[in-house]
Chains A and B, each alone.
Chain A
Amino acid sequence: MRKLDYRIAWILLWAIALAGCQSANPIKAAETTEQRAYAAYGTFVIVQEKAADLVEQQNIPRSVRLQIIQAEERAKPVADSLLDAYTEFLVVRAEFEAGQTSEQRFVIASERLDDWVTQLAPLVNELIRNIKGAEN
């Protein structure tokens, strides 16, 4: 129940924050754990591609490009862990649906996936800050 409360509050916050730009919020648009994980990972990939575009630009100072690269290097392992957690989630869910594992294990796998989504967020944020710094 507490988890549900948290999710409602979280979605409400995003809804308020995005009052002026409803069309650019993949995570808010997601409704399930799987969709949210996919939305978070996709957001990371979009930002990562933007980072790659920027570091190939010769007019951006070398130090800024290196900072962007380092920020991506910090985020990438977490994004990869999110993928691993998703794979594990699928396995556990299949086992749960087949009655081969407990509900508790399924809940833990689901929470673990959510945790990787939230762990990825500040790292993507850092990457965006570096990208923004390069563009200014």
Chain B
Amino acid sequence: MDPISLALLAINGLRTVMANPALGGGSSLRMNQASELLGILGTLLAQGDDALDDLKEFTKTIEAMAKEGRAPTRTEWDILRRRSDDAHERLQRAKEELLAEEEPEPEVPEVTEEPAPEPSPAEDPVDPPEEEDPPVTG
């Protein structure tokens, strides 16, 4: 069994125990929340994609922070906040586009042909003058 599968198995086992008082788990809010936290991790592990890679990188940042015994700086918080705002904006933009797709098209009024423009005098077809019968004389 590969390490990720093993970790998933462990997570699922822990979640089951934590969610079930009969198995020695608790039903307190904190226990449920811890169970949910394990769920996040399990899902990320199962996902096994670039989100996990990003998370690994971020973990290194936190590890370094802990090793140095320092708190996150205001700049670091600001960077995260900006990234969050950017991602939120992208999501909202996508939402607007998706909702716009759903909106029924405005009722199109019956197409009425525009009245033909009055022909200009120059374009008037000129009927040839009818030849009048010559007056009968005498």
Contacts and interface: CB of A to CB of B under 8 A. Distances in A.
Interface residues of A, number: 59
A18 interface: yes
A86 interface: yes
Nearest to B64: A29
Interface residues of B, number: 60
B62 A38 contact: yes
B52 A29 contact: no
Contacts of B14: 13, 16-17
A26 B60 CA distance: 8
A32 interface: yes
Contact of A17 (B5, B7, B43, B69): B7
Interface of B: 2-8, 10-11, 14, 18, 30, 33-34, 36-47, 49-52, 54-56, 58-63, 65-66, 69, 71-72, 76-77, 80-81, 83-84, 86-88, 90-92, 94-95, 98, 101
22 contacts: A10-B34, A14-B38, A17-B10, A18-B41, A19-B3, A20-B3, A20-B5, A20-B7, A23-B56, A24-B56, A26-B62, A29-B66, A35-B65, A39-B62, A42-B58, A44-B84, A50-B50, A69-B98, A118-B30, A124-B40, A128-B40, A128-B47
